[in-house]
Amino acid sequence: MKIQQSSHLSPFGGLNFVLEEFENLKIDQLLYTCLPKLSSNSHYSWKDLIFSFWSVYFCGGSCIEDLGENFRGFLTDSPYLKAPSPDRLLSRFKELSEAKYVCKTKRGEAINEFSENPTLDMLNIKLLKRLNPEKYLKRDLILDYDNTIIFTGKADAKMTYKREYGYCPGVGIIGSDIVGIQNRNGNSVAYALQEKTLETMFENLRQEGISIDAFRADSGSYKFDIINTVNRYVNKFYVRIKMRPSIYQAINKVNNWKEIKTKDGRTLFRGSSKFTPFKRAAQNQKQKGLLKEYRIVVTKENNLDGQLNVFTNEACVYSCIMTSDFEKTDDEIVFFYNQRGTIEREFDVLKNDFGWRHLPFSKLEQNTVFLILTAMCRNLYDYIIQKFSSRYQNLKSNFRIKKFIFRFICIPAKWISHARYKYLKVYGKIAFKT
């Protein structure tokens, strides 16, 4: 077998179309405006650094080191960027980090470590507005909030409730767009100072003229201070309730039970009533004026062992949602709340497709920079796949990035200079409408 080698041929020719789209969006202007000014002696601009970083994931890499070992050589001829070494990239990202803050909750003994990065958070929101300006002019936006665990053995990682070391970032999502991230150490429970986390997210969105109509969260947000904060920013909220004696008293007041047959043959009962939560917390904080009446939607099902509940005298398991929405039916509220289950899919995408399982730094605040920049890459991919799938027949808008790489990025190509102009020569058939 005779082999003819070409040092300028890249197996990732499709990446050039992605980088061209970044140019069309003028993301480099956003980076220049929002990020700290670099020295005039700096060999690489923020555009070079961050475009190269995002290229790692658009080419199927799993960590920053892949830039040096696997991809840098193929990016050298690109007219869109100058590819730095992984060490240069990591050192610049460290410079973007901001000091974490350490505190204790009023009643807890654990030392909580939180890390935020307002500069990158605002850059992310500005980017989202550029990607989809019409969406963020709407007044019916829904913010979903949840925490996820990233298991890691980094030097400052603390033990999580799952008895493994890691971080527990809080993430705000609108649709499939990541709009806010606060990194937390693994020993910080989800409700600890969550009201400050949410206030920061809401204020960042408000600063960019984005208003939120509804808020959804799990039982980690069922807390007096958190609900009061949410009420200041949204019209309606939907929160899963932690079961406690006061909730069972509200369940006993439900008198409009309706039988429901599920597709898998189960029998459920659903009803609702009004109730006023957090009376003790309001009394302890001397804020009774903030107490409000809400609606509780209860779904119950017979338990398997037939054991009676001591508070309701029924052999049932209960699922409760608290809301400030008195207009929707019980079924509509449950259906609407259950739609937030898609947030778990987003965590899966971030961890498996965009590097959240492979944190590069040993410090919480530095890994916060990494989490936000990879979330921005996730947001960009969602835009790219939506747009390219309408122009390229072998792509679909629901493709994960691995499939996108196989179908589109892995196209042999090389840049050719001719008549003072650079052309991209593609080796293969690509039905892409440019």
Q: Residue 312 corresponds to which amino acid?
A: T
- Select the highest-mean-pLDDT range: 4-13, 133-142, 282-291: 133-142
Please list, residue by residue across 268-277, b when 16 or more beta carbons sit within 10 angstroms of its beta carbon and e when fewer do. Answer: bbbbbeebeb
Residue 93 binned pLDDT confidence (cut-offs 50, 70, 90): very high
Average pLDDT over residues 78-103: 91
Helix pair 364-389, 46-58: axis angle to 10 deg: 70
The Cβ of residue 412 has, within 10 Å, a number of other Cβ atoms equal to 15
Choice between 311 and 93, residue whose per-residue pLDDT is larger:
93
Residue among 218, 170, 173 at smallest CA distance from 192? 170
Q: What are phi and psi of 304, to 5 degrees?
A: -80, -30
Average pLDDT over residues 256-278: 89
Average pLDDT over residues 283-304: 88
Helix pair 46-58, 15-24: axis angle to 10 deg: 140
Are the CB atoms for 112 and 94 separated by under 8 Å?
no
Residue among 64, 65, 63, 59 at smallest CA distance from 11? 59
Handedness of CA 40, 46, 51, 54 (dihedral sign): positive
Q: Where are the domains of the chain?
A: 15-96+390-426, 101-353
Q: Residue 91 corresponds to which amino acid?
A: S
Average pLDDT over residues 364-372: 95
Give the distance between the most distant pair of CA atoms in the chain: 86
Helix (H) or strand (E) holding 382: helix 364-389
Mean pLDDT of the chain: 89
The pLDDT tens digits for 376-415 are 999 999 999 999 998 888 899 999 999 999 999 988 888 8
Q: Which long-range contacts (CB under 8 A, 24 or more apart) does 23-30 make?
A: 23/80, 25/130, 25/131, 26/130, 27/51, 27/127, 27/130, 30/123, 30/126, 30/127, 30/130
Structure tokens at 421: 């102009």
| Topology of the domain covering 101-353 | Transposase Inhibitor Protein From Tn5; Chain A, domain 1 (3.90.350)
pLDDT (0 to 100) of residue 433: 55
Its pTM stands at 0.92
The pLDDT tens digits for 124-157 are 999 999 999 999 988 889 999 999 999 999 988 9
Helix (H) or strand (E) holding 302: strand 294-302
Q: CA of 346: how far to CAs of 104, 115, 285, 327, 375, in Å? A: 30, 21, 37, 30, 10
pLDDT (0 to 100) of residue 313: 85
